[in-house]
Amino acid sequence: MRNKNGFFDKARESLEASSARSFYIIVFFAILKNFWGGLRIEIDLVWISSFFILVFIFSLFLRLIESKKDVSDIDFTQNQ
């Protein structure tokens, strides 16, 4: 699928922005729970890091889809 209207650009930027906001919120609550004597922060950081690894892989997948060219967009009539 060719990226004609920037859908994949917008989706990737939105994903990266929302994941950054989520990261700061999760880290804030993890530190807050650590000060209150709740769960240990190491357990939370393992969950946080695994979540952001998945977000990073999904972002790479969107970039891969975006970079592929559709065969119908190639002009075979030009001499190269």
Q: How many domains does the chain have?
A: 1
Q: What is the pTM of this model?
A: 0.38
Q: Is residue 77, in this structure, part of any structural domain at all? A: no
- The structure tokens 């060719």 sit at 2
How far does CA 56 lie from the centroid of its chain?
Answer: 5
DSSP class of residue 68?
A: P
Series of mean pLDDT values for 10-residue runs along the chain (80 residues): 59 70 73 64 69 78 68 57
Residue 13: per-residue pLDDT = 72
Structural domain harbouring 29: 7-67
Residue type, 20: A
pLDDT value of position 27: 73
Give the per-residue pLDDT at 2.
Answer: 47
Considering the domain boundaries, does residue 15 fall inside one? yes
Residue 53 within a domain = yes
